Structure 1
Amino acid sequence: MTPTPRPRRPVRGSTTGRPLMAALDLFGRRWILRIMWELHDGPLGFRPLQQRCDSMSSSVLHQRLTDLQETQLVERDAAGAYQLTELGQDAYGELRGLVRWSDRWAAELDHLPPHRSSPKT
């Protein structure tokens, strides 16, 4: 199992340990962004979170929640539900900019003619 990405430690694709590279490695892990997206409205228990994430396997959800807890982006509240920490909410806020950009990107691509491959000779 790959260790949880952390700043100042080598991560996939980078030996520098730059915080941005660690963040890209973490956010690039399958389901991480989806989990953060689902938690942005408030705390969720394990099963409701699993259902909102298209019923992903419990072992994968458990591992991703562990990753998010180790990086201090998610914590458990007094009732045992998972919620974004202040740092996690900050990350979510920054990701909203990416959502806005991706919407503009999709709109631009919708206005382009379909790509045609070169004719074979």
Structure 2
Amino acid sequence: MKGERTYDDPCGIARALGLIGERWTLLVIRELVFGPKRFTDLSRGLPAMSQNVLSQRLRELQRIGLVRQRKLGPPASIRVYELTELGAELKSVLVAIGRWGSRIPLDAAPTASDLSVDALVLALVTTFDAAIAGDLAVRCELRFDDDRFHAEIADGRFAVDRGDASRPDVIIDADSPTLRSVVFGGRSLEDAVATGDLRLNGSAELAGLLVRCFPRPTPALTLPRTPLAADRKEKKEHGLDT
């Protein structure tokens, strides 16, 4: 790999970082965790990443056997990228990193970008609280424009994957920022529905119980705020943050 990262250390962690420690690499893998994507879809999920860098990362990931490219059959006849079996094993790694990282205060790493659809769905996986779910049983379809995910809570577990749900109890149709604001931002489901930002089909009661199963993690540490974060806080305190 051009510019391959090496640590001169035989530890398995060092060997793994030699392959996936390059900037953007794990985020590219994140975008493929729930299934294959076209290049344009990958680029849309990583708007801050240039297409040239994305192409380079994809070539590197194919070379080391974590990603492959294949052509979908008719009527689509398009090329997509997908994780290989070895690449798919990184899902549990990403979940663990996401669960750990979700406890880092947002002010420590301010950003104007929102979560991609796949990043938001992965955030649901990392924040699911079985104790809150209790004996809740619900089958849900999450719709983000043409993108579909089937999600289910049962027996204290949360499972989600790309694709239509079979006989869902509830269908939640919204964009990523709206659903994020409801699940993690304190916005009520009722308000999102009333404004038309979120469309709900099926049991509103089950939908309300479902979105409460993903509490925002309590920060595990306090990090020094960056100048940008401090500036944003000051503007907010003075009513200047729009």
- The structure having more radius of gyration, on CA atoms, is 2
In 2, distance between residues paired with 1:99 and 1:113?
Answer: 18
State yes or no: 1:74 paired with 2:73. no
Q: How far did 1:52 drift?
A: 1.1
Matches of 2:97 and 2:89, distance apart in 1? 13
Asked whether 1:108 is paired with 2:101, we answer no
Deviation of 1:82 after TM superposition, in Å, equals 0.4
Task: Find the aligned partners of 1:25 and 1:113 in 2 and give their Cα distance.
Answer: 28
Structure 2 counterpart SS, 1:30: coil
User: Which has the larger share of strand?
Assistant: 2
Q: Which among 12, 37, 42 is matched to residue 49 of structure 1?
A: 42
Identity among equivalent pairs (%): 35
Amino acid at match of 2:14: M
2:18 to 25, 42, 45: 25
Give the TM-score of the pair, scaled to structure 1. Answer: 0.71
1:32-55 deviation line (CA, Å, top 9, x unaligned): 111111111111111111111115
Q: CA deviation at 1:90?
A: 0.5
1:17: how far off?
A: 5.2
- TM-score (norm: length of structure 2): 0.39
Higher helix share: 1
When residues 113 and 45 of structure 1 are mapped into structure 2, their CA distance, relative to the original with a 3 A threshold, is closer
C-alpha displacement of 1:75: 0.7
Greater relative contact order (CA < 8 Å, ≥ 6 in sequence): 1
**Aligned match for 2:29, one of 11, 26, 36:** 36
3-state SS, counterpart of residue 47 of structure 2: coil
In the alignment, what sits opposite 1:118? none
Measure the CA separation in 1 of the matches of 2:102 and 2:11: 28
What code does the residue aligned with 2:34 have? D
Counterpart-to-counterpart distance in 2, 1:50 and 1:74:
16
1:95 alignment partner in structure 2: 94
Q: Deviations over 1:10-39 (max 9, x none)?
A: x43x22455431321333211111111111
Partner residue, 1:63: 56
Pair 1:114–1:105, CA change in 2 (3 A): closer
Structure 1 runs (4+) greater than 3 angstroms displaced: 16-19, 112-115
Residue equivalent to 1:2: 2
